Structure 1
């Protein structure tokens, strides 16, 4: 009997979560992809999501390459 009530409680909790998830997902609008403006980047028409994705990937790649360049090490005082 106790297991039965536990199962009923679990099913009720699952139903509540399912209703809340469906309500939350139905009210969210499709977000527009936006590439943050970076200095030196052209700020013309936004383009398609694919073009925005490629532009963002290029920006990240350039930033990583810039950070990976060897910096001159300061000479240690002896």
Structure 2
């Protein structure tokens, strides 16, 4: 009897974990914005040039994100 309850409990836990994993994987699907697709498609030239373009794009994106973070911090400090 104890083995049956153990197996049933294990099956319930596996079912719950499976449902949660399925839910999380479905939530992870993200639609790529049109401007991101256009910029990726705009890469032309040799592979070295494409690499440099991607590096510049990533650097620009990081700088933009850092500036947005600084602006949020300044806004939060001003509200306090």
Q: TM-score, normalised by structure 2?
A: 0.40
Question: Quick check: which one's helix share is greater?
Answer: 2
Q: TM-score, normalised by structure 1?
A: 0.41
Which protein is bigger by CA-based radius of gyration? 1
